[in-house]
Amino acid sequence: MKKNKSLQNQLNYWMILAVTTFSIIAATIAGLVNFHEASEQQDNTLKTIAQLISQGNIDNKTAYNMDDDESISVSLLNDELKKNFALRDPISNGFQTVEGDGRSWRLYIKDIPQSDDKVVVFQQTEARDEVAWNSSLSVFLPIIIMLALMLLVIKRITDSHFRPLRRLSDFLNQQDPTNLKTLSEEGASTEILPFLKSINRLLERTQASVEK
C-alpha cells in the first residue's frame, strides 16, 4: 500500500531547501567578492609602496624578514631573494605569486629610475586570506542567523495555515454520525473552500436521502 504523503512536510521541505540554497549561494558570492577585494587591496598596497620607493619618497632598506607573517617587506632584487623565491631571469616588472620558505607570497617588482636595480615589495598571501576570511565571517554569520530565523518563521507560517484543516478534521471525527448539519464556510481560505462546498453538498444529499 502506498504511503500517504504529508503536504505540510513537503511544503516545509521545499521551502527550507530553497531558502538554504539561496543563502548558500549568497554567502559563497559574498565570500568570493571579499576575497577579490582583499586581493586588490593587497596588490594596491604593494604597488603604492613600490612607487613611493622608486620615486625616492621612502627608504628601500626595510629589513627582509620571511618569518614575519603579516608585515610588508621591501628589498632590492638580489641573488638571495631570487634563490628564496625561485625567481629566474629575465625577471619582469609587475605582480607575481610565488612560493618561498614553504609559504605563498605576493610580490610586486618595479624598476628604480636612473638605476639598474629593481625593488621588490612582498607580503604573505596568508595575510590577504586572513582579511578575506574575517570579512567573509562578518557576512556569513548574519546570513546563518537569518537562515535559522527564516526556517522558524516558515515552520510557524505553515503550521498556522494548516491548523484550520486539523481543526476541521478533529471536528468531523468528533461529530455525531446522525448530525448532518452542513459545515460553516465563513472565513475559509480559497484553497479549502472547494472541499468544504463538496462536503456540504454531500451532507445535503445525505440529509435529503434520509428524509425520504
pLDDT per residue as tens digits for the range 155-177:
888 888 777 777 777 777 777 76
The pTM of the full predicted model, rounded to 2 decimals, is 0.60
Predicted local confidence at residue 3, as pLDDT: 64
Instruction: Please determine, for residue 7, whether its predicted confidence score (pLDDT) is greater than 80.
Output: no
Whole-number Å distance between alpha carbons of 115 and 190: 83
Band of residue 70 on the pLDDT scale cut at 50, 70, 90: low
- Which secondary structure element, helix H or strand E, spans residue 16, and what is its range? helix 7-54
Cα 203 to Cα 24, 173, 191, 197, distances in angstroms: 50, 15, 20, 10
Q: What is the mean pLDDT of residues 84-113?
A: 88
The separation between the first and the last C-alpha atoms of the chain, rounded to the nearest angstrom, is 39
pLDDT of residue 69: 47
Pick the more confident residue, 60 or 35: 35
64 touches 121 (CB < 8 A): no
